[in-house]
Chains A and B, each alone.
Chain A
Amino acid sequence: SQQGEEDPQALSIQEGENATMNCSYKTSINNLQWYRQNSGRGLVHLILIRSNEREKHSGRLRVTLDTSKKSSSLLITASRAADTASYFCATDSSEGGYNKLIFGAGTRLAVHP
């Protein structure tokens, strides 16, 4: 069962522009994480935001969380060609007594030079 759903499915921008990706989820969460995946590679953790936080920054990344709307957004400012990748949000599920991550389908970002 997928908890997070990213929007848009694909995004194409020019270098220097900002990229915004959204994630919606269905049930309450303890935290929400964003990951990046280069084509054919594993996922790399970008940022984690806890349910009691509304905004978090890391370098050119800005993540917001709105628990009332069950949604999060990832903003990449001043994008570079090297930012081309798929971006996934992951939410936690405590089913079975242990926390595990549930991933959405991802947003494919293409940044053109």
Chain B
Amino acid sequence: DGGITQSPKYLFRKEGQNVTLSCEQNLNHDAMYWYRQDPGQGLRLIYYSQIVNDFQKGDIAEGYSVSREKKESFPLTVTSAQKNPTAFYLCASSIVHRKVSPEAFFGQGTRLTVV
């Protein structure tokens, strides 16, 4: 089955802890993205990567970090510097096209709660 897998589905974090959300895809896509979604809101871009070992900040990168050591994997770390991390996190992937935004494929999301 080709697709994009996020884990875990639910994650609880204590104040001051760093946590890492996993995102893996076997679609052979070069581009991967992390979005944050708050209740009743749209998606806001945290980080994106077009190629291995390269990534760019999105609109709300503060308090987050990523790595792209493998084409298939794009983990997101929510650091203690992120003051309001409780949200639904969505990972997506797509082909790379320089002129036209391609269709994005999404994982099922990780719901992060600070306890």
A: which residues have CB within 8 A of B?
1-2, 4, 30-31, 33, 35, 40-45, 48, 50, 88, 90-92, 94, 96-106, 108
Which of under 10, 10 to 19, 20 to 34, or 35 or more describes the interface residues of B? 20 to 34
For residue B97, CB closer than 8 A to chain A, the reply is yes
Least distance between B21 CB and chain A CB atoms (Å): 13
A99 touches B99 (CB 8 A): yes
A43 touches B90 (CB 8 A): yes
A30, B106: Cα distance in complex, Å:
21
A2 and B42 contacting across the interface, CB-CB below 8 Å: yes
Option from A1, A35, A99, A105 in Cβ contact (under 8 Å) with B98: A99
User: By the criterion CB–CB under 8 Å, are A103 and B103 in contact?
Assistant: no
Q: Kindly state the separation between the CA atoms of A35 and B58 in the bound complex, as whole angstroms.
A: 20
Q: How many A-B pairs fall under 8 Å by CB?
A: 79
Any A CB within 8 A of the CB of B1: no
Cα distance A35–B42 when bound, in Å?
11
**From B6, B56, B88, B100, contact of A92 by CB (8 A):** B100
**Residue in chain B with minimal CB distance to A41:** B108
Q: Are A45 and B41 in contact (CB under 8 A)?
A: no
Known A30-B101, A45-B104, A92-B101: A100·B109 in contact at CB below 8 Å: no
A40 touches B42 (CB 8 A): no
For chain B residues 58-111, which have a beta carbon within 8 Å of chain A?
A: 58-59, 88, 90, 92, 96-109, 111
> When chains A and B are docked, how far (Å) is the Cα of A41 from the Cα of B106?
9
Do residues B100 and A100 form an inter-chain contact, with CB atoms below 8 A? no
| A4: nearest chain-B partner, CB-CB | B42
Whether A99 contacts B101 by the Cβ 8 Å rule is yes
Find chain A residues with CB under 8 A from B58 CB: 100
Q: How far is the CB of B72 from chain A (nearest CB, A)?
A: 17
A88 to chain B, nearest CB (A): 6
Q: 12 new A-B pairs (CB below 8 Å) besides A35-B104, A99-B98?
A: A31-B101, A33-B104, A44-B106, A88-B43, A96-B56, A98-B48, A98-B50, A98-B96, A99-B100, A100-B48, A105-B40, A108-B40
